[in-house]
Structure 1
Amino acid sequence: MTLQRRSFLKLLPVIPAITSVPVSETSNNAAKIAMRFIVASDGHYGQPGTEFKAMHTDMVRWINREKMQKGVDFLMLNGDLIHDDPTLLYDLKTTLSSLRVPYFVGRGNHDRVGIDVWESTWGYKPNHSFGKNDYAFVVGDTSNEKGEYICPDLQWLKEELAKHSSKKGIFVFLHITPEKWTDNGINCKEITDLLDNAPNVKAIFNGHDHDQDGKKQKGKKPYFFDGHFGGNWGTAYKGYRVVEIYEDDTWQTYQYNPTAAPVINSFNGK
């Protein structure tokens, strides 16, 4: 019996040692994911001199693959959906119709459309929020029709955080970071103070700075960037950020490069 087993084992292919495994696949909580969503930004659909159609085709393919392989509850497109020209919204929305997951959008400084056009296209205003299970997701507007950099509406944000105060956690999306720690950030002290003092705000997600794909800390709160999947500058790769919330209410986020060593800048939260 022993000789037969050894002979059988010799016929098996040699399996190389695993040198790098995504945190989500090694975690004891990996089989207990309660919710999984993806944050991507800065597609800049229509930007001259870029292969924007191919970039969006890639993004849709990546997200659909994530849905099939690991599951995705929704995709958040965190600003700069288009590049300046409001007429691009229709073609972009047609392109996004190939997504096999629900998606939500936030307005960036290159999404130079009025609130009425934005609402008629997407079905909600640039400032909006939505809930899923025990969590809330708040999307704040950080620009306007002129493409100016602006701080989110403080009163609106206060009301939204109060409205969702009974939720286990709130995740906030702001295209432009409200702290001047990047070349393209702006100082919004009232906003960062408000977020820091909201006990159930888990994290803030920013786009805009295409060359940023890590975490920054302001007070008690982490702020995450996701690089870019379009445009003509930024990180050397195009990718997106994954967020996984577990049944024990812990959570994890990591940046994902779908074309190379995939997992970057992992973070575990409570």
Structure 2
Amino acid sequence: MKFQRRSFLKLLPALPAIPYLSGQKSGNAAKISMRFVVASDGHYGQPDTDFKTFHSDLISWVNREKLQKGVDFIFFNGDLIHDDPTLLYDFKSTLANLRVPYYVSRGNHDKVGLDVWQSTWGYATNHSFAKGEYAFIVGDTSNEKGEYVCPDAAWLRTEIAKYSEKKGIFVFLHITPAKWTVNGIECKEVIDLFENTPNVKAIFNGHDHDQDSTKMYGKKPYFFDGHFGGSWGTAYKGYRIVEIYEDSTWQSYQYNPAASPILNTFSGKN
């Protein structure tokens, strides 16, 4: 059956208009070369939470973003499910309603073995991918027991070297590798590696549901995106947007779909 855009829009909840950007980039839509969403901590299956609504809301928001401005992909930065490994299939089935490509990382509540993870997603818990002039590196920060662990620094170093000619590298780690939040973990070798790699542009962290801002280690920004599920955290459920421009600049901001503010904008240059 032919897809009707008007009919699809009727299925989405009423949302406020999403402004293109705050600040200096306003009205410059033609200059975007890539746009992606980062969302974390959906905790699919967590008892005593409305987890199905949390996921259907996020999917509707991202599908609306796709229609209004374009989204190249969404990254789910860990805690996809809540402890029970059998929930992984239901979570993946829910994502069938997304109209954009997606990638995932393992969080401490994703208590799934490496073999199940590989067979479900088609890639390991440590993985990377490239899109055009940019590379994206995903490091594992937990294990099947749900323990907090530092990402594999040797593996990260190899992946960074593989993408040394890329204009920019963006890194995704569920648990932040610095003890600047209650739930962070100190991984000095990792943060020094990022700091000393010029084309590492930013690191994205989940895990700390109450964090939605930017923290700086040296010259590198570490972004947090609050949460879109779970039982605690920021007063709103939202996600982070990253927009990369043709003039080698980029911008990231946190977004609250319910109230429509753009929060905690950060601008960078490649």
TM-score of the superposed pair, with normalisation by structure 1: 0.91
For residues 108-119 of structure 1, what are the structure 2 equivalents within 5 Å? 108-119=107-118
2:46 alignment partner in structure 1? 47
Deviation of the 1:220 alpha carbon: 1.2
Counterpart in 1 of 2:67? 68
* Displacement of 1:23: 1.1
Compute the displacement of 1:26 (Å). 4.8
Distance in 2 (CA, whole Å) between partners of 1:216 and 1:43 is 22
What is the DSSP-based 3-state SS (H/G/I as helix, E as strand, rest coil) of the residue aligned with 1:266? strand
What is the letter of the counterpart of residue 98 of structure 1? Answer: N
Do 1:141 and 1:174's aligned partners in 2 also have CA atoms closer than 8 Å? yes
Cα distance in 2 for partners of 1:154, 1:28 equals 41
Change (3 A) 1:85 1:119: same
- 1:22: how far off? 3.8
Rounded to whole Å, the distance in 1 between the matches of 2:20 and 2:261 is 9
Larger mean CA deviation between 86-95 and 23-32 belongs to 23-32
Counterpart mapping for 1:18-33 below 5 A = 22-23=21-22, 26-27=25-26, 29-33=28-32
Residue 162 of structure 1 corresponds to which residue in structure 2?
161
* Percent identity (aligned): 73
- How many residues of Structure 1 are paired with residues of Structure 2 in the alignment? 251
1:37 corresponds to: 36
The residue number in structure 2 matching 1:256 is 255
* Mapped contact 1:206–1:226 kept (Cα < 8 A): yes
Q: What secondary structure does 1:210 align onto?
A: coil
- In structure 1, the partner of 2:146 is 147
Work out which of the two has the higher radius of gyration on C-alpha atoms and give 1 or 2: 1
User: Separation in 1 of the partners of 2:172 and 2:153?
Assistant: 14
5+ residue gaps, structure 2, are: 1-18
Any idea what SS the aligned residue of 1:97 has? Answer: helix
What do you get for the CA RMSD once the two structures are aligned? Answer: 1.3
Name the SS for the 2:97 alignment partner: coil
- For the 8 Å contact 1:29–1:246, the answer to whether it is kept is no
- Go from structure 1 to structure 2 and tell me whether the alpha carbon gap of 1:253 and 1:85 turns closer, same or farther (over 3 Å shift): same
CA displacement at 1:163 relative to structure 2? 0.2
| Residues 71-150 of structure 1 mapped to structure 2, 5 A cutoff | 71-150=70-149
Q: Is the 8 A contact 1:80 1:110 kept in 2?
A: yes
Change (3 A) 1:188 1:238: same
CA distance in 1, matches of 2:36, 2:115: 28
Amino acid at match of 2:210: D
Distance 2:210 2:21 in 1: 22
Cα deviations across residues 192-238 of structure 1 (Å, max 9, x unaligned)? 00000011000000000000000000011000000000000000000
- Runs of 4+ aligned residues of structure 1 deviating over 6 Å after TM superposition are none
Instruction: Show the counterpart of 1:228.
Output: 227
Cα offset, 1:21, TM superposition:
7.8
**Within 5 Å, which residues of 2 pair with 1:236-251?**
236-251=235-250
What is the SS of the residue equivalent to 1:145?
coil
CA distance in 2, matches of 1:28, 1:117: 45
Shift of residue 190, structure 1, vs aligned partner: 0.1
User: C-alpha separation between the residues in 2 aligned to 1:151 and 1:24?
Assistant: 36
Report the AA paired with residue 190 of structure 1.
Answer: E
Q: 1:145, CA displacement in angstroms? A: 0.1
Match of 2:14 in 1: none
TM-score by length of 2: 0.91
1:134-166 superposed Cα distances (whole Å, 9 cap, x missing partner): 000000000000000000001100000000000
- Rounded Cα–Cα distance in structure 1 between residues aligned with 2:156 and 2:179: 20
| Structure 1 residues 101 and 200: alpha-carbon distance in aligned structure 2, compared to 1, 3 A threshold | same
